[in-house]
């Protein structure tokens, strides 16, 4: 026996000796050191247990893993989480009560499994970690990449707000670079119920990291049949048939300001039309992906098939993607027509060849600069649990002020105090509900950007104006606050004397577009002292006058629009934390942090509310919402906002909006006022956008001239005006429902605006649907985004039934239908088993309490809803001062149970009434919050069960 046991004992000791130096158990996880790391590969991998469903993975090629504190994460781990380890062959496995995470001791590859052993997420076989050394501003860093396996059936979402119109990012690539209308949140959510939070602040690419190639890498033929190039014809719009010049070109690359110097000498772009013609062919064949950035008008045809038709304002180009299948060696006719409209318009066209077999069913995060690979794996049984995991890491989303959930009116811009007051007077006179009016930029004197002072010539009594908004018109006031300062003004000098300004634009004498042009720069938001000073200025000049909320514009930071990426980095370099290359995407996060912390310290009982053009992971903890930037006033742009907003919500960010109507307009709408057919299109565009906006988390109209108030868009007796007022009033009747969603967002990690994948993930038909969404648990919203459309095709998700909100008619799910969409309505459906509370008619959210709530109960399935209430303006909810009332409908017994009220808060209604209206398959009921039908129940906080049987 001894002879037989001895070899086993020796083998065991040998195994312990081999792996003893590799595995170190820490108080919160494991550290694995690889014996033979490959060049450019990983040397150490650390697993840190955050919760039983969240594991942080860090990896480094160095002898130690950097411990630099995270900017996005606030969680450090729960010491109470129980976990065990197991070593087996060439891997070590960490196990919690919900999952396992295994590290291969040879490659460093990490695999996450559920407790049944099913793979949830797997790094690329072999590890997939790449570290490339780089020196940035004398700081040694790495270019980082982590590759993951991605099964063919998987769907991927999140990553912030992007403008390519894509919903599902499987087999796509996404540029994570802050830009006007692009907001970066490096959080990926999978249909397999996991998320990856990539903790890196530099420019990052998700997906296929191969660089896009110039068109010259395809086989080109010009319009005369000569190989090797396309024909570029530079003509003038005001001289049809006249050619300014022609060139043979192999690339189209006017991406940034310096590139415009390569235009033909003397060519007047603002009067021009440029056409590229010829043929393209592929040496390999397959599906080619074409990527453009463009402004002005661009149209592209392949074999006479229109592939792209788009317009954007010259100074703000946007991205576009389209694909086309190319047979090997076959020539395809190509024509591109570009009308720049401006001497500062931009276009670039590149392509990406078909995905090679080695990259299929894989995806990756690739970042320019970082000290280590650092990501959080988040697991959940449902999408909401995954998103709540993101907020566990990065902070809860605060409950925004109740008034912020009402209607906001904005324009670019209210130029005088009289403009502001007269606008609010008109809303109140016409009895159009509104809660917030917004002051855009240039309320200061022309040469004092950054003073934070109102120009007294145009705003002689700014405090009195705001007091009137509060006390007479019961409205709130949001104001634009840029982090920008003109050289030489007093506030500039306050920052400059402490070296808290970026100086590149000052040294280069860059002038902006105001008046004669003024030299300016931004403050360094990465410096705590600078953030504090910025808040002090806002407090002294604006908050003291009664400003309620902050519109933080240009926080990419956009020091100079259309600068090259390298120059953008120089314009914000160095930061107080280090090279701008390393921290490029996080300016908005730190800027919002300063405002939030400053106001909470100064006035702790008033809720902070921030709207910001750029975003980053963690901003929700600073009471910050985001809008989709300076987008175009076009129907196709409206269509792109829908998936942009849904993916933003799937990124863990609950509060989002757009400029209803789009920000900047085509000449046909403002040179001069729109007339005839253009006027009709303008009104319909705004109406359709308004209908959609009423069901966004935030309901906000804004844009350049023409003015955006409903009464300035269409006359009172028009269908367009009536529709806008209808949806505004409907939004206010839904306020008990909407504010309950806000309460659930803070307390339970909910998301109000929901991609269909969140609630119907077992229905694979919804994976690519980006033009429909759930608003809360009950309402299926189907925006209309095509001019003159009076119906639209939509999908009713499976495994439930659906009621038309307007007439109560029932339809089974699991199929596509064509729904009516007259100009005044968009299709709205209610999921069977829903309970929707409607409150009283309101002109503003605080006008009256919901002492009588009309409950619509949509039968056909069990249903539940929780009514949430608090004071709406302060942070007492953080101290437990709020109430909830649960409603539970049983389909089997046909009963509704109104639960005992839980909790309380100052000013809470002790007694109220509920009018209960039942909607059944066989008994359709039109939605009417003023209905006198149904069953009236008096409620004093005690549980009641009501029979709903006929």
Instruction: Tell me which residues are annotated as active site.
Output: 553, 556, 630
55 by DSSP, 3-state: which? Answer: strand
Upper half-sphere CA count for residue 420 (Cβ side, 13 Å):
28
Cβ-contact 459, 479 below 8 angstroms: no
Cβ-contact 384, 749 below 8 angstroms: yes
Q: How far, in whole angstroms, is CA 809 from its chain's centroid?
A: 34
Q: How far apart are CA 398 and CA 622, in angstroms?
A: 7
10 Å CB burial of residue 64 (0-12, 13-18, 19+) is exposed
Cβ-contact 445, 516 below 8 angstroms: no
Q: Order of strands, edge to edge, in the sheet holding 119-122?
A: 84-88, 91-95, 99-104, 110-114, 119-122
Q: How far apart are CA 448 and CA 442, in angstroms?
A: 9
Q: How far apart are CA 649 and CA 217, in angstroms?
A: 38
Upper half-sphere CA count for residue 695 (Cβ side, 13 Å):
30
Q: How far, in whole angstroms, is CA 708 from its chain's centroid?
A: 23
> Pick from 694, 695, 733, 729: which is nearest to 915 by CA?
733
Q: How far apart are CA 693 and CA 641, in angstroms?
A: 10
> What would the DSSP string read from start to end of 298-350?
EEEEETTEEEEEEEE-TTS-EEEEEEEEE-BT--EEEEEEEE--SSS--EEEE
Peptide bond into 540 cis (omega under 30): no
Q: How far apart are CA 90 and CA 92, in angstroms?
A: 7
Looking up tokens 């002005």 gives 296
142's CB contacts (< 8 A; 6+ apart) are 61, 131, 132, 133, 134, 369, 370, 371, 372
Cβ-contact 895, 699 below 8 angstroms: no
> What would the DSSP string read from start to end of 86-139?
EEETTEEEEE-SSEEEEEETTT--EEEEETTS-EEEEBPTT--EEEEEEEETTE
| Strand 29-33 with 624-627, pairing | unpaired
DSSP collapsed to 3 states, 367-402: EEEECCEEEEEEECCCHHHHHHHHHHHHCCCCCCCH
Q: How far apart are CA 214 and CA 289, in angstroms?
A: 12
3 by DSSP, 3-state: which? Answer: helix
């Amino acid at each position: 026996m001894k002879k037989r046991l001895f070899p086993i004992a020796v083998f065991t000791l040998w195994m312990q000796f081999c792996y003893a130096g590799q595995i170190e158990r820490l108080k919160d996880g494991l550290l694995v050191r690889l014996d033979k790391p490959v060049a450019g590969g990983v040397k150490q991998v650390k697993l840190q247990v955050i919760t039983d469903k969240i594991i942080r993975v860090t990896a480094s090629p160095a002898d130690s893993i950097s411990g630099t504190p995270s900017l996005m994460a606030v969680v450090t781990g729960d010491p109470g989480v129980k976990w065990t380890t197991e070593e087996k062959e060439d891997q070590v496995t960490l196990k919690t009560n919900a999952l396992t995470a295994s590290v291969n001791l040879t490659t460093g590859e990490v695999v996450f499994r559920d407790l049944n052993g099913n793979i949830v997420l797997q790094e690329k076989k072999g590890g997939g970690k790449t570290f490339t050394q780089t020196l940035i501003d004398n700081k040694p860093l790495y270019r980082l990449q982590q590759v993951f396996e991605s099964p063919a059936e998987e769907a991927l979402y999140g990553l912030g707000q992007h403008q390519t119109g894509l919903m599902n990012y499987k087999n796509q690539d996404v540029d994570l670079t802050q830009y006007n209308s692009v907001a970066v949140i490096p959080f990926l959510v999978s249909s397999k119920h996991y998320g990856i939070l990539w903790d890196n602040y530099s420019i990052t690419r998700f997906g296929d990291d191969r660089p896009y190639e110039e068109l010259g890498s395809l086989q080109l033929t010009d319009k005369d049949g000569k190989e090797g190039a396309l024909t570029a014809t530079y003509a003038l719009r005001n001289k049809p048939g006249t050619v300014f010049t022609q060139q043979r070109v192999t690339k189209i690359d006017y991406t940034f300001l310096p590139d415009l110097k390569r235009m033909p000498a003397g060519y007047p772009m603002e009067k021009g039309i440029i056409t590229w013609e010829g043929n393209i062919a592929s040496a390999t064949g397959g599906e080619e992906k074409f990527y453009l950035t463009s402004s002005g008008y661009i149209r592209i045809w392949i074999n006479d098939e229109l592939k792209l038709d788009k317009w954007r304002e010259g100074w703000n180009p946007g991205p576009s993607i389209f694909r086309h299948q190319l047979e090997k060696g076959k020539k395809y006719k190509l024509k591109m027509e570009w009308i720049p409209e401006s001497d500062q318009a931009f276009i670039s066209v590149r392509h990406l060849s078909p995905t090679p077999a080695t990259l299929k069913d894989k995806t990756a995060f690739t970042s320019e600069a970082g000290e280590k690979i650092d990501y959080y794996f988040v697991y959940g049984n449902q999408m909401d649990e995954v998103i709540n995991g993101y907020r566990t890491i990065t902070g809860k989303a605060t409950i925004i002020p109740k008034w912020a959930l009402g209607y906001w009116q904005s324009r670019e811009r209210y130029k005088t105090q009289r403009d502001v007051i007269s606008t609010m007077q008109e809303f109140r006179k016409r009895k159009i509900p509104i809660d917030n009016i917004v002051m855009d930029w240039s309320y200061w004197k022309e040469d004092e950007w950054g003073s934070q002072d109102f120009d007294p010539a145009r705003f002689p009594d700014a405090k009195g104006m705001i007091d009137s908004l509060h006390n007479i018109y019961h409205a709130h006031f949001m104001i634009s606050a840029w982090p920008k300062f003109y050289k030489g003004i007093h506030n500039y000098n306050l920052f400059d004397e402490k070296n808290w300004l970026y100086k590149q634009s000052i040294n280069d004498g860059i002038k902006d577009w105001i008046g004669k042009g003024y030299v300016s720069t931004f403050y360094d938001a990465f410096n705590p002292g600078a953030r504090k000073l910025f808040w002090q200025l806002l407090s002294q000049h604006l908050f003291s006058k009664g400003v309620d909320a902050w519109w933080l514009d240009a926080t990419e930071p956009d020091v100079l629009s259309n600068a090259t990426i390298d120059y953008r980095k120089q314009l914000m370099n160095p930061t107080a934390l280090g090279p701008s290359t390393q921290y490029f995407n996080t300016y908005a996060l730190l800027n919002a942090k300063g405002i939030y912390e400053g106001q909470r310290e100064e006035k702790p009982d008033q809720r902070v509310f921030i709207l910001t053009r750029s975003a980053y992971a963690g901003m929700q903890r600073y009471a910050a919402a985001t809008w989709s930037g300076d987008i175009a006033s076009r129907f196709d742009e409206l269509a792109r906002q829908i998936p942009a907003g849904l993916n933003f919500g799937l990124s863990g960010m609950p509060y989002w909006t757009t400029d209803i109507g789009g920000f900047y307009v085509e000449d046909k709408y403002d040179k001069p006022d729109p007339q005839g057919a253009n006027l009709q299109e303008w009104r319909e565009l705004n109406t359709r956008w308004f209908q959609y906006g009423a069901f966004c988390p935030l309901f906000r109209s804004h844009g350049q001239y023409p003015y955006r108030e409903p009464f300035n868009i269409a006359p009172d007796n028009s269908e367009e005006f009536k529709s806008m007022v209808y949806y505004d009033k409907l939004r206010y009747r839904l306020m008990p429902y909407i504010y309950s969603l806000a309460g659930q967002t803070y307390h339970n990690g909910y998301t109000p605006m929901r991609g269909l994948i969140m609630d119907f993930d077992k229905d694979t038909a919804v994976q690519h649907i980006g033009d429909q969404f759930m608003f809360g648990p009950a309402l299926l919203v189907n925006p209309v985004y095509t001019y003159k459309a009076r119906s639209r095709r939509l999908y009713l998700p499976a495994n439930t039934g659906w009621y038309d909100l307007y007439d109560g008619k029932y339809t089974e799910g699991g199929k596509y239908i064509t729904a009516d969409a007259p100009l005044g309505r968009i299709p709205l459906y209610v999921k069977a088993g829903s309970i929707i509370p409607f409150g009283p008619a309101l002109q503003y959210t605080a006008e009256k309490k919901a002492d009588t709530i009309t409950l619509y109960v949509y039968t056909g399935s069990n249903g539940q809803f929780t009514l949430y209430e608090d004071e709406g303006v302060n942070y007492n909810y953080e101290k437990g001062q709020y109430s909830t009332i649960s409603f539970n409908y049983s389909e089997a017994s046909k009963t509704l149970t109104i639960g005992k009220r839980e909790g309380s808060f100052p000013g809470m209604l002790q007694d109220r009434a509920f009018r209960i209206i039942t909607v059944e398959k066989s008994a359709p009921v039109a939605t009417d919050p003023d209905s006198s039908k149904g069953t009236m129940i008096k409620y004093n906080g005690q549980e009641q069960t009501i029979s709903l049987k006929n």
